[in-house]
Amino acid sequence: MKEPEFDPRPILKWCTSDLDALLARLRAAVEHESPSGDRAAIDAMAEFYAGEFRAAGGRARLLPHRTAGAAVLAEFPAPGAGAGRPAVKPLLLLGHHDTVWALGTLRSMPFRLRAGRAYGPGIYDMKSGIACALWALKALRALRLPRSRPVRVFLNPDEELASRAFRGRIQAEARRAHAVLVLEPAAPGGALKTARKGVGEFRLTVRGRSAHAGINPAAGVNAITELAHQILRIEQIAGAGRGVTLTVGVIEGGTRSNVVPETARARIDARVPRLADGRRIERLMHALRAVHPEARLEVEGGINRPPMERVRAAALFARAQALGRRMGLELAEASTGGGSDGNFTAALGIPTLDGLGGVGDGAHARHEHVVVRELPRRAALLAALMATL
């Protein structure tokens, strides 16, 4: 049976009419500074969002963590849930409330509106996405539009620090979900993110032997020279895989110019488009062997955030694209080299669509901003997805 068409235009109209209120709450969120690793600031931000989700009709609670600060879990049961109806898998809305900006950034980078854009620390990455999710839930409630599935919202407090504190909880929430909608900002032009590269880091240490650079250099084993050989090998490893990048971002070694260096180190950023690429890169990096017979190599690390492959997003993107067209919105898709918590959920085989947050630019940069007129459209798109999935 063909699914009846859903008209999202009333949702868009409601969200557009309430834009001033949406902006006010977005400003309040931006002015709650929440740098990663600052437990007090993160806890205050979590309290703020818990209150916002309760005001939107949900049940919200904090999940404390002694170093990262509190996560937020909000639940919105489907109408009629528990009244003899069989349980259905929920939709998971996934976001994070930490930012890369230190406390006090607001003094030099305040919330402001200019030429149709809203600026401020964390507004694009990703407080606008959370604001749009809140308004989507408010719109469904105000218009009394049914949801066939419950909705769970999880806000992670340390996404910018590799999601170490709550990675297991995110995966557990994903395993129980029908699909995951990630509130990260859109790709350029408003495109949704259907693929993300996996992310990793390797640490390479070279052990050589020190000697006097003038009196007896041949007695030494130059660790920096060996590291240079290994960097060229690492570039060859990356070049053998389409879309794979291995970037030597930090190098250090030696003590004085007149001493043959006995130790040198490098830190290497890794990005891989496919799970198989990650396994291959890990194998090859840990198989590196020294060129100099007396040098020793130590390789640590690996892929810590698996890739989000497009196959997990294709059907969700098609649904979002169809709903967008009914609102006069032409949605494109994009892949990105940056990671998100959607990488973890997609790697579990759960349908995951990313980039549903604000449209703008400047993540982690001083010109960070969102386009104001796009906020109601992103909120309406989220609401339509929740109503139809």
Domains in the chain: ranges and CATH: 9-196+307-388 (3.40.630.10), 198-305 (3.30.70.360)
CA dihedral 369, 375, 381, 384 (to 10 degrees): 140
pLDDT at 3 over 70: no
CA dihedral 241, 247, 252, 257 (to 10 degrees): 80
- Strands, E, within the chain: which ranges? 59-63, 71-76, 91-96, 112-114, 117-119, 151-156, 179-182, 192-196, 198-207, 211-212, 245-253, 259-260, 263-272, 296-305, 333-336, 352-353, 360-361, 369-371
Cα diameter, the chain:
87
* pLDDT one-digit tens code per residue, 52-66: 999 999 999 999 999
* pLDDT one-digit tens code per residue, 102-121: 999 999 999 999 999 999 99
pLDDT at 30 over 80: yes
pLDDT at 328 over 50: yes
166, 63 contact by CB (below 8 A):
yes
Question: Which has more confidence, 1 or 75?
Answer: 75
Q: Whole-model pTM?
A: 0.91
